[in-house]
A and B are shown apart, each in its own frame.
Chain A
Amino acid sequence: MKNTSEKSALKVLKCLIFCLLAALMAHGINRVLKIKGQEYGVYSSYAQYGGFYEMEKKTVDVLFLGSSHCYCGFSPQEFYDRYGIRSYNLGSSRQSTWLSYYWLREALKTQAPQAVVMDVYYTRVSSGDESSVQKALSYMKWSPNKAEAVRTAVKEFPELTFKSFLLPNIRFHDRWKELDREDFMLSELEPYKALKGYVPLPDRYGKNDFKMIGESEEDFVAASKAGIELQPKTDEYAEWPDTSKDYMGRIADLCKEKGIDLILVKTPTVRWTAEDHNAAVKFAEEYGLTFYDFNACRYYEALNYDYAQDNADEGHANVRGAEKICGFIGELLAGEYNVEAVRDDQWEKTAHFMEKIKKEFENGETGEAAESLSD
């Protein structure tokens, strides 16, 4: 009798071990299948969010949120090297306001930033596309915050299901046809963490089809004298979708509650209209925030920006453009917002990456930034 029950117990134990092995295997498969969030040659999602969780607690003083305009425009290493400001870029491709909100909440669990700089480009739509949600949420750790974010994602994209976030193979298993070396050799993506969310773009746009936004009569007079064409003057403003209004309000309220300075910005892009500008100004006024629109004459000129040379394409700053934007915002953070310079090895040790990228850019090398990092 005892023998039989011992045999049964052994079988149950074997079953449990098998289940454990199967679960480990499924976890491994999901790690391989999951999207790594490659943007412009840089594995942003995997390295960016994975790297963020590895930051020491309460060491990040400034956070950047927003779409690809954000992760191409703000280089945390640049802020550290020039101003000693410790920052991290949590922007992601087509990051809508609700994704920014949940990443802000996630970040506040471990960090106590003094300022949050948010690029407002994606206030214009309720949500980006489904892949943008995956890029932003795939590497967020599970918690009630992520569960809420996923529920919002499912609401925004009915083709998604909550369980596809729990079991990523439901969403990503069809990637088996496109799996590459990086999907298996995750260790090779580790160096990208050094960028702290920044995606350096090496190209130069070359075209000069950018039109600044005039905010006052003086802007139009000055532009006319200089022979520069501005965007047509308008008092109209773009209507933000309800989701954007709601989540921008939540971001502003959360920052206020935590005593964080929320700074709204818009990097230079030909896709930003005067109506978009007016909508952001209206929101900033409503919440008592400051909005730095680098598409507006006064800030564009203050940057000394050259759209053809400082942008990589129609919408994203290249390495030099980012340097200029970081210079302006860095001055602002250090001066007006009193963000102190602090020596920190987390930024100290990664300085050489940025130097290398800048050097390549100056030499006119247009190879993918990813390649320069993995060398």
Chain B
Amino acid sequence: MTYISLEYYILVIVSLIVYYFLPVGRRWIALLTGSAVFYCFAASDIRQYVLFVCTIALSFAGALWIEAVPEPKKRKAVLWSVILISAAPLLIMKVTGILQGHLREGVERIPLIVPVGLSFYTLQIISYLADVYRGKIRAQRNPLKYALFISFFPQIVQGPIPRYEQLGWQLFEGRNFNIDNIVRGSQRILWGFFLKLMIADKAAVAVNEIFNNYRDYEGAYVWVAGILYSIQLYTDFLACTTIAQGVAELFGIEIVDNFRHPYFAVSVQDFWRRWHRSLSEWLRDYVYIPLGGNRKGTVRKYINLCITFLVSGLWHGEGIRFLFWGGLHAFYQIFGTCTAPLRNRVCEIVKLSEGTFSRRLYQTLGTCFWVMTAWIIFRANSLRSGLHMIRSMLTVVNPWVLLNGSLDSIMPYQEWVLLSASILVLFFVSRAQEKGSVREWISEQHLTVRWGLALACIAIIMIFGTYGFGYDAQAFIYGGF
């Protein structure tokens, strides 16, 4: 069951009906049941379910234990023990993945039980335990309510990674029925479908072809693949978050924004303030700051930055190329900080004043280039192939393939036109969102305009979307992390 499947929306509608029919104080039970059913369908193996439930039970008891221990040293020991046990499945998966990644083909690999959403709920549990330890929140006394917080179905598979103080109370306090929530939630879901089926999955056709046959495609093709993969990954993840937000909104629950137009960033540092914000904030609060952050001098700051980004790389995947990708982002930031005075001086000489459109444009294009280069490593089938592609991108000159119809062999030209048009829509919507709320603007329009927009969106997705027979539906990319 995926977030764009018919079955998922049947579950959502049934849960919604039950939710609003139950007394306000009992409405969380509908969410818990929905989450349990969702996980049943999402998990391919009963052992995944058992492991998931055991982790919830253990971390629930662990949090109560942390709270009950008065002695600070012992408390810390309990915290670390519970974190280590709760995170053990994720750690085992990562370490085994790295070790097995070096095995030759044909050598039997150890089959692992990987529960759905493991990477996301493990971080959620760690932040919960750490917050209980720090006294920021009180441990939840009701195991079922705690289970709901960890397993809330709209976001269990791909996040965002919620904080207990932000999400918990919204889940447990029943919300009153408000038709505006239904309308606004549905709008978000529709936009999520547009992002997924009109951009992410369409781009995936070209991206998969070029990355999987990278030796046949050089130069301009790699540029196309790199740009499209950057857009695919963003829209795919944004679609999932948007759909999660939309479904939660149907229940009157607000889930935090996970993105703030990352490709408008003016530096790599800015990019990480806009990309997968719930993860970035988690890494900041539970890795970077506890390591000392920027409080212990420049060298320690850079070391902490490297560790944080290596953890981020490891979280994203098991291969060595993910560590490389994380390290590359740390390097970008350190290099960016070190060279900032020099770059500012150059800008002064060429009269690129701070705050001007031209300066921002160059900064944004530069950031996008560095981020895209790192995404190529991230998406490539191996570190070696990723480096090969980057070299080809920078050394092979063949721009004519963009103009002479060669791209049609990858995807029919009509699909290229649709994809380009959809990306333009995303660009203009993002620009508008930077200035204000697009949803507010829509809500101020006349009924015919609002309905016309929604119906047009449904029709476009229905007819032109990349889905159904003949297509391999792309699983949401971040669900694999």
Contact = CB atoms under 8 A, between A and B. Distances in A.
Interface in B422-481: 447, 451, 454-455, 458-459, 462-465, 467-471
A26 interface: yes
B469 A164 contact: yes
Nearest to A163: B6
**Which secondary structure dominates where chain A touches chain B?**
helix
Contacts of B462: 26, 29, 169, 173
Given A11-B180, A177-B414, A21 B463 contact: no
Contacts of A176: 463-464
Contacts of A169: 462-463, 468
A22 B463 CA distance: 14
B297 interface: no
Nearest to A29: B462
A170 B455 contact: no
B182 interface: yes
A171 B412 contact: no
Contacts of B455: 21-22, 25
Interface string B330-372: 0000000000000000000000000000000000000000000
Nearest to A24: B455
Contacts of A12: 179
Interface residues of B, number: 22
A21 B468 contact: no
A29 B414 CA distance: 19
A33 interface: yes
Describe B's contact surface by its main secondary structure.
Answer: helix
Contact of B451 (A21, A160, A163, A177): A21
Interface in A8-47: 8, 11-12, 14-15, 18, 21-22, 25-26, 29, 33
Contacts of B467: 170, 173
A150 B447 CA distance: 40
Contacts, number: 54
A159 interface: yes
Interface string A170-191: 1111101100000000000000
Contact of A25 (B458, B465, B471): B458
B421 interface: no
A164 B468 contact: yes
B451 to A, nearest CB: 6
Sorting the interface of chain A by its residue count into under 10, 10 to 19, 20 to 34 or 35 or more gives 20 to 34
Interface string A292-334: 0000000000000000000000000000000000000000000
Contact of B469 (A8, A21, A159): A159
Determine which residue in A21, A159, A164, A169 has the highest number of CB atoms from chain B within 10 A of its CB, and name it.
Answer: A169
B469 A170 contact: yes
Contacts of A18: 451, 454
A15 B470 contact: no
B1 interface: no
A203 to B, nearest CB: 32
Nearest to A176: B463
B250 to A, nearest CB: 12
B179 A173 contact: no
Contacts of A33: 463
Contact of B459 (A11, A25, A164, A177): A25
B470 A174 contact: yes
A219 B169 CA distance: 90
Interface string B134-175: 000000000000000000000000000000000000000000
Contacts of B464: 173, 176
A11 B178 CA distance: 10
A29 B463 contact: yes
16 contacts: A8-B179, A22-B454, A25-B459, A26-B462, A160-B469, A164-B469, A169-B468, A170-B468, A171-B468, A173-B464, A173-B467, A174-B469, A174-B470, A174-B471, A176-B463, A177-B414
Given A33-B463, A173-B464, 16 more contacts: A14-B447, A15-B179, A22-B455, A25-B455, A25-B458, A25-B459, A26-B458, A29-B462, A160-B469, A163-B6, A170-B468, A171-B468, A172-B469, A173-B467, A174-B468, A174-B469
Which 8 pairs between the two chains have the least Cβ-Cβ distance?
A170-B468, A11-B179, A171-B469, A176-B463, A169-B462, A12-B179, A173-B463, A163-B6
